[in-house]
Amino acid sequence: MEASRNTNSALLSTLFLFLLLIISSSTSLNYHNTFFPTSLSHAHHEPEEPLTVPESDPNTMTLSLPLLHVDHLHPAKSSLSATEFLRLRLRRDILRAQAHKHLGGPAQLNSSVYSGFLQGSGEFFTHLWVGTPPQLAQFVIDTGSDLTWLQCAPCEVCYKQTDPVYDPAQSKSFNPVPCDSKLCHPVHCKDRSCQYGIEYGDDSFSKGKLATETLTFRTTRLARVTLGCGHINRGLFFGAGGLLGLGRGKLSLTTQKGHLFNRTFSYCLVSRYVSKGSSWLMFGNPAVPQKAVYTPMVKGRVRNMADIFYTVRLTGISVGGQAVELPEAAAEKEVIVDSGTAVTRLSQGMYKALRDAFKEGNKNLIPADSPMPDLFDTCYSMREGDSVTAVALQFEGGAFMELPLTNSLVPLDDEGTYCFAFAGDMDGPGILGNTQQQGFRVVFDLEGHRVGFAPDSCSNPT
């Protein structure tokens, strides 16, 4: 009997120790990740369900849309290789980031309406229906712009897009904004309608009439949305017909119609280097996950543009569980959460501290020459099974992002060259790029003036 009691006691002790090990391992941070190679040519994602002609549902207060990464729009018959296509996007990304450095005042545009700042053309796309009856159009989503616009017939100058160009003459709900509207200034009138002009950092632009129109999100119609109807357009929009402005400005969709979905939206961006899941955008209460951790929005240092961006404060960075010593100046730690920039940008001092810590923690990796030295200065020749120290970002208020390996090292070719997915030399606020946001649900709570982050596989938009 005593032997049986001792045996049971030993089994219980062993079971307790086993459970303790499970709990400890499940709640601890992963300070190292194991590398597995990826291919640029297999980085595409199909939306999980097809879009169909929608019907109106006025009681719906939740909107969800599948998103496509620009990689998906790279046609197989294109003369560009996957590597060349990637580098084209990253070149444009450099121009977008450089535009952040020159945000001293409003853009010098020939219009009273301008969108956000002089930036690049975006990375993620979705389909919407425009007008009555609805016409299908593909839009870039952009949290760094306010005005929504699309190419319109008749085109004086238009770039090539995937879907037919939207024709306002075929829509019963299209209405130009008149010159006496508070949105317009009489100097910027032509043919009794308000004119707009938007220029971007990569020399893309759109010019045309300001109007109101109906947008349909799958099953929900939003009437009288102010948008730009562009008759003169040029840009690297990779087939999209226009841009969906999700910034904080007065002309953004989130400001115009935010009251319909509690001024809250979120997106989940699946890693472009994994095959499961689908990126999506959601508006309304279900957009807020219970497990999200939040950081407050801050005013930012950008004169005259501070209310357009979702700016937060980065308070700490760790590499392999060790805190990186960062510059003391609080202003250097402001970052804009941006869906349209791929690579995170930091001030030179902050980036150098992070890069040096990453290199110190990964001496086991084989250094490689950078295929794009004007953007990446730290690259490696990666081998399957390599151990890589993890990077984590800490924000004001305790919000925390432990980055997966695919968010820290990105492939630049199919030969095994991977580069550290951060860059320096930002004079203004930094940028939290979409590469670092992948694998997270990012929540924008406009009512609470906060941004939230929650790890998410992006498998289900609920």
Last residue of a domain, one of 267, 302, 329: 267
**Rounded to the nearest 5°, which phi and psi values hold at 53?**
-60, 125
Per residue in 92-130, pLDDT (tens digit) is: 555 555 554 544 333 322 222 323 222 334 568 888 999
Task: Look at residue 73 in the predicted model and tell me its pLDDT.
Answer: 52
Whether 293 and 322 share a structural domain? yes
Whether 358 and 242 share a structural domain? no
First to last CA, the chain: 55
**Rounded to the nearest 5°, which phi and psi values hold at 189?**
-105, 150
Task: Look at residue 333 in the predicted model and tell me its pLDDT.
Answer: 86
CA 162 to CA 82: how far, in whole Å? 19
Per residue in 137-150, pLDDT (tens digit) is: 989 888 888 899 99
Whether 445 and 303 share a structural domain? yes
Higher per-residue confidence, 154 vs 235: 154
Last residue of a domain, one of 202, 234, 267: 267
> 4 in a domain, yes or no?
no
Show the tokens assigned to 266. Answer: 């979120």
Last residue of a domain, one of 267, 302, 334: 267
Task: Look at residue 151 in the predicted model and tell me its pLDDT.
Answer: 96
Higher per-residue confidence, 309 vs 237: 309
Whether 80 and 183 share a structural domain? yes
With 90 as the cut, is the pLDDT of residue 275 above it?
no
Torsion of CA 147, 151, 157, 161, to 10 degrees: 120
Q: Cis omega (within 30 of 0) on the bond before 429?
A: no
> 424 in a domain, yes or no?
yes
Residue type, 451: V
Whether 241 and 304 share a structural domain? no
> 3 in a domain, yes or no?
no
25 exposure class (CB count in 10 Å sphere: 0-12, 13-18, 19+): exposed
Higher per-residue confidence, 76 vs 343: 343
Per residue in 424-451, pLDDT (tens digit) is: 876 778 899 988 999 999 999 999 999 9
CA 259 to CA 282: how far, in whole Å? 15
Higher per-residue confidence, 172 vs 122: 172
Whether 110 and 256 share a structural domain? yes
Give me the number of domains the chain comprises.
Answer: 2
> 460 in a domain, yes or no?
no
Whether 326 and 419 share a structural domain? yes
> 346 in a domain, yes or no?
yes
Domain carrying residue 299: 287-455
Show the tokens assigned to 339. Answer: 């869906």
> 5 in a domain, yes or no?
no
3-state SS assignment for residue 15: helix
Residue corresponding to tokens 């870039």: 140
Q: Nearest 5°: CA angle at 426, between 264 and 351?
A: 95
> 421 in a domain, yes or no?
yes
Burial 411-436 (b: 16+ CB within 10 A, else e): bbeeebbbbbbbbbebebbbbbbbbb
Burial 91-116 (b: 16+ CB within 10 A, else e): ebbbbbbbbbeebeeebebebbbbbb
The H or E element containing residue 91 is helix 82-100
Q: Which residues are known catalytic residues? A: 142, 338
CA 338 to CA 428: how far, in whole Å? 14
Q: Supply the CATH number for residue 214's domain.
A: 2.40.70.10
Whether 259 and 336 share a structural domain? no
pTM above 0.85, yes or no: no
Q: How far is CA 82 from CA 69, 146, 380, in A?
A: 14, 31, 19
Q: In what order do the strands lie in the sheet with 264-268?
A: 63-66, 280-283, 264-268, 440-445, 450-455, 293-296
Per residue in 17-42, pLDDT (tens digit) is: 332 223 233 334 566 666 555 555 54
> 27 in a domain, yes or no?
no
